[in-house]
Structure 1
């Protein structure tokens, strides 16, 4: 291969990488925009506190929200917040340097929750419960101090489905992780702008953008966490049955209370045959047709799994 041919090949590869990255960016922005619109996550004048952990999800959330801030028809401000939990070896310089380079307002909160968790939780037991409760309380306090009207967390579609199965398998509840909710103290609104985003797309975007990822070492030594097991199950389904994850997530947005079994959710007690046809009536004798998982239509605008990504 001569020099001219090699240059052409490299140029074509660069063009393809840029095309795939732009396609991926467009998809993620579209998914985040849809979630914001569907749940009215961000309103005019909002001050959004973006919780930045240093992982791929929160980096992507901040990056997409900053982009949308420039093009959205409403005005809202962003303040990035990181909670330094004093984990051994945590590179405290990474996030301040990154956020300063963006010119975004930020605050680093230093709280030694690591020592508390290690002292209270017995060796070998799951630390996530206590860690998340401590972290949540601190973030609520900081939101008050910063005057934030919304608290943005970086949970994505698979996080929501994992929570659904965790509650079903271990908690006996049909409960997931909502894209928007009011905090338990009634004082804060928590939003999840990545609710419609696939984890694999976020991972590809994070690599393409070369975010300075900081791993969480506090729970990294707990390989048998229930959430991790559920996550592996969902990832296996996604690989073996294309479309199944999309179908499951759609189910969360297409609930039929009359066909579950919660008398507090539907008035089964007073259900009577009154001769009036109803859309939620029983169709026990009807034959239901279900599409094969691999045949479920997926949005055409979604980036292909095999596409490569190049840095912008």
Structure 2
């Protein structure tokens, strides 16, 4: 590679890293994910998302206005052929505190789920319980997961299409028992950016093959639909994510969120009746590069 090509590649990498830092810092600020003295357990699966999460959080930690600790946890589910040496070698190289938790969830899933059925749901529940227990044992104040913007959008449509709920994946979540706070610092980050970053950083990716590379078909169908929309109408995905941040209960149909029964003539409702001109929906779609990087208004806030 020529010197000019190397310089250009480095410039593009720096730009990508800065964008991921900015979006992560903005999500942390918007949802107050990290506070002074936090001890954050980063769940490391060996996939591109969790590697990127740990890397960006370590990067932000060096310049953050608050002090917080990071430690990594990996759940070794005893999958046949799982490369047990990969993560310890990687984490030893980083010099970060970590723990490998060994639990044979593989046998449980294979025993409980009939052949050919999707195992993701049971596997996820088992992992969640083990990670909550580990967080308590190791004194974690927050549990950080590597879900990104695309995961959140896909979950919204999964719940709409298959669950009958307008429900997404929260950037910050309290566990049902009130003991664990789960955060998703990559909430504003695009999967494409994360994939590019992981490739350039050459993270030692470990594929999830617990179920023989079985895919959650419903999620894959949603992902394919969104990719097709993005191809046909650049900017649509950004608009969907922005819509998730701009919910108007008075213009939905959930009577538990808005008191339609008591609505009286003369009452002024925030975001009330706006006449929509058909021309609003006939204008050309703005190319993606003209949108903000995450589809949200980004302020100059960086941890």
State the shift of 1:295 in Å. 4.7
Task: State the secondary structure of the residue aligned to 1:169.
Answer: helix
**TM-score where L is the length of structure 1:** 0.90
**TM-score where L is the length of structure 2:** 0.93
2:121 corresponds to 1:129: yes
2:160 corresponds to 1:165: no
Q: Where has structure 1 moved over 3 Å in runs of 4 or more?
A: 290-297
Give CA-to-partner distance per residue, 1:130-152, whole Å, 9 cap, x none.
00000000000000001000000
Distance of 1:231 and 1:287 partners within structure 2: 31
Where do residues 138-287 of structure 1 align in structure 2 (5 Å cutoff)?
138-223=130-215, 225-273=217-265, 275-283=266-274, 285-287=275-277
Task: State the secondary structure of the residue aligned to 1:178.
Answer: coil
**Long gaps (5+) in structure 1:** 1-8, 303-312
Aligned to 2:67: 75
State the shift of 1:220 in Å. 4.6
State the shift of 1:235 in Å. 1.7
Query: In 2, are the aligned partners of 1:27 and 1:301 still within 8 Å (CA)?
Result: no
2:3 corresponds to 1:15: no
Distance of 2:169 and 2:236 partners within structure 1: 19
Aligned to 2:39: 47
Aligned to 1:298: 291
**Long gaps (5+) in structure 2:** 296-303
Task: Output the aligned Cα RMSD.
Answer: 1.6
State the shift of 1:240 in Å. 2.4
Task: State the secondary structure of the residue aligned to 2:101.
Answer: strand
Query: In 1, are the aligned partners of 2:155 and 2:169 still within 8 Å (CA)?
Result: yes
Give CA-to-partner distance per residue, 1:245-290, whole Å, 9 cap, x none.
11000000000000000000111111111x243333233x542624
Give CA-to-partner distance per residue, 1:217-262, whole Å, 9 cap, x none.
0245334611111111112222222111110000000000000000
Task: State the secondary structure of the residue aligned to 2:271.
Answer: coil
Query: In 1, are the aligned partners of 2:146 and 2:185 still within 8 Å (CA)?
Result: yes
**May I ask how many residue pairs the two structures share in their alignment?**
292
